[in-house]
Amino acid sequence: MTTKERIAEEALNLFSVKGFRGTSVKNIADAVGIKDSSLYKHYKSKKEIFDGIVLEMRKRMENMSQYIGLPDDSDIQASARMYGELTLENLLELSRKIFLFYLTDDFISKFWRVATMEQYQNEEIYDIFRHIFMEESITYQTLVFREMIRNGIFIEVNPEVIAINFYTPIFFLLSKYNGRAEGKAEGLEILENQIKEFYRIYRKKNV
């Protein structure tokens, strides 16, 4: 790993705990093991380090669904078919995957925290946060659930309403446990109960 990459990494570590303003260039340099002045050979300002992190997040956004292990957006019908014989176990696995990805993926979970702290001072950060953590997942799941209704797997309810009922418990648990590793097991347990109930509500009974 280049020094430039190590700077970005340590900066994200620090930003995700102490925030942008709470982290000094010296803090970052110390973590990397160089003097603060040396850091300026790699980035011309502290803000530029931050912007690099934002850029990296934007890049990952583009192929987020691969990261979560979801089928590609371009083929919603296929994914709905994939969930064709949707069992409770399938659904639990999917929800756990999304939850644990956001919660434990190193870059994503730290970015969640940084964005949470910076959202009110930085419109761009809020837009990214909202897009990734509040809209994308719901938009995607809406399309999937719509197909599942069409295929007679789910009962006939507005698919966006279903998607919100699917996602908001996950969002809530992420808000509660991100940055608190101890809570992972507790979060998973609550999630399991919610998903079981979700399945009970929306899975069409085979007649």
Partner DNA sequence: GTCTATACCTGGATAGAC
Partner DNA sequence: GTCTATCCAGGTATAGAC
Residue reference for tokens 């959202």: 119
Instruction: Give dist(CA 22, CA 19) in Å, integer.
Output: 5
44 binds, among its own copies, DNA, none (CB under 5 to 8 A by kind): DNA
Q: Which of 13, 19, 25, 88 binds DNA (CB under 7 A)?
A: 25
Is residue 125 within the footprint of its own copies (CB under 8 A)? Answer: no
For 54, the token pair is 């934002």
| Contact set for its own copies, span 152-171 (CB under 8 A) | 157-158, 160-161, 164-165, 167-169, 171
Q: How far is the CB of 20 from DNA (least distance, A)?
A: 8
Distance CA 154, CA 157 (A): 8
Dist CA 157 CA 153 (whole Å): 12
Position among 26, 58, 97, 130 found at the interface with its own copies (CB under 8 A): 130
Please report whether residue 35 would count as binding DNA according to CB under 7 A: yes
Q: Give me the sign of the Cα torsion angle 108, 112, 118, 119.
A: positive
Name the DSSP class of 44. S
- Residue 32 sits at the vertex; the CA angle it makes with 26 and 34, to the nearest 5 degrees, is 65
Tokens linked to 49 = 């380090």
Positions that interact with DNA (CB under 7 A): 3-4, 23-27, 29, 33-38, 40-42, 44-47
By CB under 8 A, name the binding residues for its own copies: 16-19, 21-22, 113, 116-117, 119-121, 130, 134, 157-158, 160-161, 164-165, 167-169, 171-172, 175-176, 179, 190, 193-194, 197, 200-201
